[in-house]
Chain A
Amino acid sequence: MSDFFAMGGYGQYVWPAYATFFLLLAIEGVMPALKRRRVLAELRGKWKRQQRREGAAP
């Protein structure tokens, strides 16, 4: 097992490369979920304001 992590002496290069791969794709992967939450919150806020305005001056 420690042989596997040593990567024949190249572990210090191989694992940071893989870490970069997973980190950047993870960030890229959660971005849409965050944006979705923001967009939906903005839309709901807009509709709420609209409703209030309609309620105030029918």
Chain B
Amino acid sequence: MNPLVLWFHKMGSPPIFYRLAGKLLPWCYALAFVLGVVGLYGGLVLAPSDYQQGDAFRIIFIHVPCAWMSMFVYGFMAVNGFIALVWRIKISEILAMAAAPVGTAFTAITLITGSIWGKPMWGTWWTWDARLTSELVLLFLYFGVIGLNAAIEDRRQASRAAAFLALVGVVNLPIVHFSVNWWNTLHQGSTVKMFGPSLIDSRMLWPLLTMAIATKFWFAASLLNRSRVDLLELEGGKDWVRQVAMNSDGSAAPQEKGSAA
């Protein structure tokens, strides 16, 4: 078999995925923490004050990375939802549903920190403009996906139904991204551009990008952590889960004969 196809088949196997995710997990958390400390030190201590906003602009180092992640995670969830719907791959169902709470957290942080930032800069906590409203819709989409997934008894049917909702909600992503160009809004446009030069001092840019990478690793760690637990739940009756449950700190574990080997 083609080695790439073989690799995909292996990754699709729950016990192998569980083991590999367990190995990657500590590294992702460690990288997230280290990069987070470095990025926040650069942002809070090393970066100079903004000429207009003074030190209030330092909220950018959490607000913008979280905002990027709120959309990145949604995209990840939608892609895995698509794979789950088309090819019925169990791991993709798990990954899509494990991503949703992480994305919810990032979206909530974006909205709350943005609101706190808006008070001194715009003079208001909230305004119903395009960027803020579409980001709020994104939060409700995450809630919808999580709620639908929780409302259906059969785990696999639930994740496919929720994946479908996630796919429909993808239409909101370009609206969030382009809202600052399409409508008149209080929210400023992009200062960091993928194509072309960014409109930001390099002493502010590197902590921002470091935080962006740190939040990516946090997402990876949380995703792996959550999907491992979800796999245990979904595969509850299987032998490999029984072995995992026996081997992990089981104070209440029932005595099995000869399972320790």
Interface on B for A, CB 8 Å cutoff?
44-45, 49, 54-56, 58-59, 62-63, 66, 101-102, 105, 108-109, 112-113, 116-117, 119-120, 218, 222, 225-226, 228-229, 232-233, 236, 241-242, 245, 248, 250, 252-254
Q: How many A-B residue pairs have CB under 8 A?
A: 99
**Distance to closest chain B CB from A39 (angstroms):** 5
Interface on A for B, CB 8 Å cutoff?
4, 7-11, 13-14, 16-18, 20-21, 24-25, 27-29, 31-33, 35-36, 39-44, 46-48, 51
Provide the main secondary structure of the chain B interface: helix
Chain A: which residue is nearest B223 at the CB level? A32
Determine the chain A residues whose CB is within 8 A of the CB of B63 once the complex forms. Answer: 17
A44 touches B54 (CB 8 A): no
**Distance to closest chain A CB from B89 (angstroms):** 21
**Distance to closest chain B CB from A52 (angstroms):** 9
Q: Can you sample 11 A-B contacts with CB below 8 Å?
A: A8-B55, A9-B54, A13-B120, A17-B112, A20-B109, A24-B109, A25-B218, A28-B222, A43-B242, A44-B254, A47-B245
